[in-house]
Amino acid sequence: EAKTQGRNRHSFFTASMQESATRQRKLIKDLRGALEQEQLEVYYQPIIDLKSEEIYKAEALIRWHHPEYGFVSPVEFIPLAEETGLIIEIGEWVFQQAVNQVKEWRRLINPDFQLSVNKSPVQFHQETPSNWAESLSRSGLSGNAITIEITEGLLLESDQSVKDQIESFHVAGIQVALDDFGTGYSSLSYLKKFDIDCLKIDQAFVRNMEEGSEEHILCEAIIVMAHKLGIKVVAEGIETEQQKVLLVSAGCDYGQGYYFAKPVEAKMLTAQLIKEKRCA
């Protein structure tokens, strides 16, 4: 009996591994046409000023509506886009969408509105680095319309071209935010070295935060140190009132999470921004 079970278990794992390999191959294949077939869309999640509880800016987050699989998470397909290099084309498209959108929101709602755009490390290693500062000015926008979100891994590289690109953002007035802070290896010294404007505390800290917990203490310490370095702090993944309260008393500047708002289509955020403006 044990033998049968063993064999079954073996074939079970093999089957599911094969299934996921097949899915991966199919996703890679379909991702090539996804842009052209208009299956990709950019959603926007508000980032809230924790003092006023008003929407301060928003983050652009890509969505893929796959014809067979339905919604496919960026957690699944962004790594595939990075492996295949498709992230270059997709990343440029997201950036252009964000530029058009921030332009509209600046015109309609608030001339200071800003959008955050994620930029993969792979995009920093293009042979001819894209010039987002120039694209912005061609669109008639100042650099402060966009914040680039980078991840810690990028800062650990000693690549001069990466440093130069980050420096060129600063020259253009584009802000740089360090995403998912606390999960990688970067230390606070990197924040200074790379002149980071803002850091985003990873959801993992916020999720398990209770009064007096290790996560709570770490968040407080990160916020104090960041502020001493002149860096603003966003807490990601706020889902409860209690998390918000603890972060406010820790002096956190901004918050992002389902407690405030989920990522939504542009037109839904437009409606919300108009409503908020009327109430103000």
Q: Which residues contact 64 (CB under 8 A, 6 or more apart)?
A: 31, 34, 39, 40, 41, 71, 72, 74, 77
Residue 277: left if φ>0, alpha if ψ -120 to 50, beta else—which one?
A: alpha
Q: Is 152 in the site for Mg ion (CB under 5 A)?
A: no
Neighbours of 213 (CB within 10 A): 13
Whether 253 contacts 219, CB under 8 Å: no
74 binds, among ligand C2E, Mg ion, none (CB under 5 to 8 A by kind): ligand C2E
Q: Which amino acid is at 225?
A: M
- Exactly one of 2, 36, 75, 128 binds ligand C2E (CB under 6 A); which one? 75
| 115 to 154: interface string for ligand C2E, x by CB under 6 A | ---x-x----------------------------x-----
Whether 199 contacts 221, CB under 8 Å: no
Q: Tell me, what DSSP letter sits at residue 166?
A: H
Q: Is 78 in the site for ligand C2E (CB under 6 A)?
A: yes
Instruction: Tell me the window of 27-35, 157-165, 246-254, 257-265 that interacts with ligand C2E (CB under 6 A).
Output: 257-265
Q: Scanning the structure block, which residue is given the tokens 């294949």?
A: 29
For ligand C2E, which is the closer residue by CB, 179 or 215?
A: 179
CA angle 258, 201, 214 (to 5 degrees): 100
256 binds, among Mg ion, ligand C2E, none (CB under 5 to 8 A by kind): ligand C2E
97 binds, among Mg ion, ligand C2E, none (CB under 5 to 8 A by kind): none
Q: What residues between 170 and 209 interact with Mg ion by CB under 5 A? A: 179-180
Residues forming beta bridges with residue 170, ordered by sequence position: none
Q: How is residue 259 written in tokens?
A: 């407690």
User: Which is nearest to 200 in space by CA: 253, 271, 131, 246?
Assistant: 253
Q: Is 263 in the site for ligand C2E (CB under 6 A)?
A: yes
Q: Scanning the structure block, which residue is given the tokens 């709602």?
A: 109
Q: Is 118 in the site for Mg ion (CB under 5 A)?
A: yes
Distance CA 272, CA 128 (A): 39
Write down the least CB distance from residue 118 to Mg ion, Å: 5
- Exactly one of 27, 40, 55, 62 binds ligand C2E (CB under 6 A); which one? 62
CA angle 45, 241, 182 (to 5 degrees): 65
11 binds, among ligand C2E, Mg ion, none (CB under 5 to 8 A by kind): none
| 184 to 213: interface string for ligand C2E, x by CB under 6 A | -------------------x----------
What b/e readout covers 146-161, taking b as 16+ CB neighbours within 10 angstroms?
bbbbbbbebbeeeeee
Q: What residues between 12 and 51 interact with ligand C2E by CB under 6 A? A: 45
For ligand C2E, which is the closer residue by CB, 106 or 244?
A: 244
Instruction: Tell me the window of 15-23, 67-75, 190-198, 235-243 that interacts with Mg ion (CB under 5 A).
Output: 235-243
Interface residues with Mg ion (CB under 5 A)? 118, 149, 179-180, 236
Can you give the binding site for ligand C2E, defined by CB under 6 A? Answer: 45, 61-62, 73-75, 78, 91, 94, 118, 120, 149, 179-180, 203, 236-239, 256-258, 263
